Amino acid sequence: MKKMMYFMVPLSRLGIKLSKTAFLFGLLFLIDINAKCCTNFICSRGASADGSTMITYAADSHTRYGQLRYHRGGAHPAGEMVKLYNYGNLRFQIELPQAPTTYNVVGFINEHQLAIGETTWGGIEPYSKGNDMGIDYGNLIYVALQRAKNCREAIAVMADLTEKYGYADGGETFSLCDPNEAWIFEITSKGAERGAVWVARRIPEGYVSGHANQARITTFPLMKKKSYVSIDSKNMKEVFRPEVECVYAADMIDFARKQKLFSGKDEEFSFADTFNPLTFSGLRACEARVYAMFNRVSSQMKQYEPYVMGLTDYRNAKPEERLPLWIQPDRKLTVHDVMELMRDHFEGTAMDMTGDVGAGPFHCPYRWRPMDFEVGGKQYVHERAISTQQTGFSFVAQCRSWLPDALGGVLWFGVDDTYSTVYCPMFCGITEVPICLEEGNGSMAEYSETAAFWLFNRVSNFCYLRYDSMIVDVRHVQHELEQDFINIVEQTSQQYQNTEGSRLVGVLNKTSNRCADRMMQRWKELDHLLLTKYIDGNIKSTTPDGRIKTTETGVVLPPQQPPYPAWFYEQIVNDHGDVLLAH
């Protein structure tokens, strides 16, 4: 989930002045829009229809396999150590003293309904790299989930660990939610120095936020109010005061001054502008995805479209011209609303990927990499949408304060492309992962008939061939399953809210596994239907229950053979008409 940055510091800080034309011309050659990327959405309790908090996460990587990790917690003896292996390359990273007690973790949610997601933005050199023996971002998430019960504890854990042991990564933005609160947390390394600089803000009740591989926290309130504090290992307990809604590393501004990254007044300090200044790539490939989500929940967003497209003088944009850190949606969001926010190709915007010639005759909203290309000496880019073909897995984490933790936390988990996945409910209290999602069941180098990742990829990759027709069938089954699962979760929650202990765990294991089995069976049926219905470019007629229509004697009805769009025929003629002309 890394995104390259292009210069060590903004050119203005180096005393270099460029005309707007020269700046934009130079920027075209600095675009790194091929980066691995992720997308997060954050929904506060007051912005959801049922009072739950929610975060989303799409792990978009061409090498990331879709599976569900499970960590069993428990009590640990004094002196026990834990070895951490880098989340990306799996090499040994660091050894830490184990906590006396750790918690069960299912994917990115723990047994206490704490959930964490992330997106990576890297940052400027040399802070895009950290201490080699520190903690990388992936382990920072998992260690926090194993040791913290809520967002505030997680912030304290991450701050304390990086201060003591160093931070072995560049810029990251984390989403955190528990049954009561949602936070956004941004961090980057100190380069060669041990430790990290960071800032965390609570999402106000009734608001939503998001991030997509670009730092988003600009200026923030300093210690002039009781609700904003700077902390280090000496006063870590400050984060637990209920009125505190913004915390940050105590030495962050001093560090920025020492590194000659910042020279203004303290209240002018902007985390994002200091450690991840905006570029065309940061807007078009990153902020644009946040805009897409915001635009779908608020009618007040259209004004920001030129900005996120990089069409304005964004480096000199006033605060009110920039995309907000959080917004108030027009209406409160259901869990299915949030699932649908992760399904987007910029439909309804100027960046809509379904309508240009790159979508082909069947309006496929996907572009194979690389995302930037050159024609006639000019640089161009394909859009980087929320829904993308290389997603390994994604989730919607839902935390519900009115239920027991084991039942209240649900990780709605899906594999492959968010637009054609199914979000299957994994209760945070389960102790068994369904076989189709289990670690070790297949890999990026090994196909498995029983792995959800490979089954969903079979379906989605087939759909890319005749997308506008096939996706209708996919979305029909997707909606059917997710509505069933939402009903099952609601019924289970009502029926077992007073159940405890091993009996409740047994119910949750059975329910999550039953949903996963149902999903796999129904998706196999869909896989077979798509092949049967769309083989050889034809489209066979089907019955409402998805069977191929035949005559009374079992003969398949003549298939439809819809023509290409008129514009596509014109392109064929323009390219090869002399040969194809009927004489």
Q: Tell me the CA distances in angstroms from 285 to 85, 198, 346, 369, 475, one per residue in order.
A: 30, 23, 12, 13, 26
Closest by Cα among 334, 396, 407, 338 to 113? 407
pLDDT tens digits, 79-130: 999 999 988 788 888 999 999 999 999 999 999 999 999 999 999 999 998 7
Looking at residue 14, its pLDDT comes to 26
Measured CA angle at 146 (ends 143, 147), to 5 deg: 85
Q: Residue 216: is it exposed, middle or buried by C-beta count within 10 angstroms (0-12/13-18/19+)?
A: buried
pLDDT tens digits, 2-26: 332 222 222 222 232 333 333 232 2
Please state, rounded to an integer, the average pLDDT across all residues of the chain: 91
* Structure token digits, residue 15: 């005393």
Beta bridge partners of 556: 550
Q: Locate tokens 């990115």: which residue? A: 108
Looking at residue 21, its pLDDT comes to 32
Looking at residue 540, its pLDDT comes to 95
Q: Locate tokens 């239920």: which residue? A: 403
* Structure token digits, residue 140: 């920072």
ω into 370 cis (within 30 of 0) = yes
Longest C-alpha distance within the chain, in Å?
89
Angle of helix 501-534 relative to helix 452-463, nearest 10 degrees, comes to 30
| C-beta separation of 150 from 208 below 8 A | no
Closest by Cα among 368, 376, 451 to 416? 451
| Backbone torsion region of residue 79, taken as left when φ is above 0, otherwise alpha when ψ lies between -120 and 50, otherwise beta | left
User: Could you say which residues of the chain have pLDDT below 50?
Assistant: 1-36
DSSP assigned state of 207: -
Cα 582 from chain centre? 51
Could you give the CA distance from residue 150 to residue 186 in angstroms, rounded to a whole number?
17
| Residues 6 or more apart in contact with residue 189 via CB below 8 angstroms | 127, 128, 129, 130, 131, 134, 167, 168, 169, 170, 195, 196
Strand segments, DSSP code E, in 204-310 are 208-211, 228-231, 246-249
Looking at residue 276, its pLDDT comes to 97
Cβ atoms within 10 A of the Cβ of 299, count? 8
Cα 560 from chain centre? 39
Domain ranges across the chain: 11-381
* Structure token digits, residue 81: 């150590």
Q: Residue 230: is it exposed, middle or buried by C-beta count within 10 angstroms (0-12/13-18/19+)?
A: middle
Coil, helix or strand at residue 6? coil
Beta bridge partners of 115: 109, 177
ω into 97 cis (within 30 of 0) = no
* H helix intervals, 128-167: 137-147, 151-165
Helix (H) or strand (E) holding 60: strand 53-60
Coil, helix or strand at residue 297? helix
